[in-house]
A and B are shown apart, each in its own frame.
Chain A
Amino acid sequence: MAVLEIENLCKRYENFALQNVTFRVAEGRIAGFIGRNGAGKTTVLKSLLHFVTPNSGSVRFFGQDFSAHEQAIKQKIGFVSGGVRFYPKKKLRVLADVTRRFYPNWDETAFKRYLQRFSLDPEKTPDMLSEGMKVKFSLALALSHHAELLILDEPTSGLDPVSRAELLDEFLKLQKEGVSILFSTHIILDLEKCADDIVYISNGRILAEAPMQSFLESYRAVSFDSAEKAEAYKDRLIGLSEDKRGCTALVRTAVAESLALPAAPADLEQIMVHLERQASI
């Protein structure tokens, strides 16, 4: 069952547009939403909850249309956008006291448990927290009303490697507890560590949506000694680029096999770099 289904979502700005964005997040999965800076990740995530008003398209959570069931759906999801960006001078205790009143199923015991688990002091203010702790407080708020789906916009951006690793560990723990997660990032390592599925956006369009492993297996990295040698396969190569040792490119796995090219498995970073390079040609 899908906890989130987006179909043909469009949003037009003067210099940028989301074009028929379509993807889904399955129950109990962690989906990594990747793309370079400015690809449209934040606009998509904000459009899901109508923080940004889409021009067209449909968004369904837990099988229900968001526009028609906005309040009920928001009870079941948590949106975290890079930590706490509100009321930086108010104590966490006060923010929680205000927030809990919006949720009939708020679980105070769970909230206290998450404060303990994340080592958060309720007497502190968001201003006094590191970026990682701010994200954790947002998570504590979201999880204390038993959010079944977490939507996180670049939660690891700006965190040191240790804090990032801790946060990703939390994602995996939450997944075991039955929470589905959609998080955007441009940090490849985050995805490799915990994403089950990949949704790849480039310039406002979804280029790929697949389980992580099959996405990785669908491409191969090829290298050539010189540009002349690569020329023969030019039409089949994706994002061909020259470096000091020759040329590198990406090919579809089926193409690599049919042409008997000397190809190696491609990692996520190679795939992203070459796809972006191809898109910019």
Chain B
Amino acid sequence: MKALLYKEFRLVTHPTTVLFLLLSAMLLIPNYPLYVTFFYCTLGIFFACLGGRENGDVFYTVLQPIQKCDAVRARILFAVVFESAQLILAALFSLLRIRLLGAQNAAGMDANLALFGFSLLLLGVFNVTFFPLYYRNPAKVGKSFAVAAAILFLGILILESLCFILPIFKEKLDTPDPQFFPEKCFVLLFGAIFYVGLTFAADKIAERRFAQLDV
């Protein structure tokens, strides 16, 4: 697994994948649907997979002394590293935002713990949609990403709309920290559990599909 991860970072990482991490700074935009920031992380993962396709990465990887399922696990671990890096950077920028602008956001969810909880949920949904589709046919990476991104944006739309519809969102979750701290901590925990569960499921389904794929 160490060699596979090294391969992911040395050969697969696309410059835009790293560049998109810096877009965590979008948390500094005063009024903006902040969930969109995390879309760029998924776009970075897509570019890495697209670059992999153009460079014959799947064939190179299965040539090595590994099992096919390890190739899937390494790629998903690679995605988890980028998603985690984006979340950590975004958390740092949200702290900066609070200091400079305050947490409030007129265009959607405030920069608070609940935002990160729901973002983890969205990234989990992306993983469980994108990777099983991608590993059914890596040649059609664009189609897999289009479906996963559409579902991600639908999720963002629903979550942002809830801030204007549901009282619990409007009055408790869409507020600056540390107001309603226990509720937001619960959302963060809920998001983290779902992220881990959905990413684990993504790995298992993708591994099964890739095992049947003729390279």
Contacts and interface: CB of A to CB of B under 8 A. Distances in A.
Contact of B59 (A86, A88, A94): A86
DSSP class of B's interface residues: helix, strand, loop or mixed?
helix
Nearest to B2: A101
A99 B65 CA distance: 10
Contact of B215 (A51, A70, A97): A51
Given A94-B10, A99-B64, A101-B6, A52 B215 contact: yes
B55 interface: yes
Which of B7, B59, B214 has the most chain A CB within a 10 Å cutoff? B214
A86 B56 contact: yes
Contacts, number: 61
Interface string B8-33: 00110000000000000000000000
Contacts of A79: 63
Contact of A87 (B3, B6, B56): B56
A49 B59 CA distance: 12
Contacts of A87: 11, 55-57, 60
B66 A98 contact: no
Interface string A42-53: 000010011111
A18 B2 CA distance: 37
B62 interface: yes
B67 interface: yes
A88 to B, nearest CB: 7
A16 interface: no
A101 B6 CA distance: 8
A88 B55 contact: yes
Contacts of A51: 59, 62, 214-215
A85 B67 contact: no
Given A86-B59, A87-B55, A88-B55, A97 B10 contact: yes
B68 A50 contact: yes
A90 interface: yes
A233 interface: no
Nearest to B67: A70
A95 B61 CA distance: 12
Listed residue (B64, B65, B66, B214) with the most chain A CB atoms within 10 angstroms of its CB: B65
A46 B214 contact: yes
Contacts of A81: 59
A102 B60 contact: no
A85 B215 contact: no
Instruction: For the complex of A and B, list the 8 residue pairs with the smallest distance between their C-beta atoms, beginning with the closest.
Output: A74-B65, A86-B60, A86-B56, A101-B3, A51-B215, A102-B64, A52-B214, A102-B3
29 contacts: A46-B214, A51-B59, A52-B214, A52-B215, A53-B211, A70-B67, A71-B67, A72-B65, A74-B64, A74-B66, A81-B59, A85-B59, A86-B55, A86-B59, A86-B60, A87-B55, A88-B55, A89-B55, A90-B11, A98-B6, A98-B7, A98-B10, A98-B11, A99-B64, A101-B3, A101-B6, A102-B3, A102-B65, A102-B66
Given A51-B214, A74-B64, 13 more contacts: A46-B215, A52-B214, A70-B67, A71-B65, A71-B67, A72-B65, A79-B63, A85-B56, A86-B55, A86-B57, A90-B55, A94-B11, A98-B11
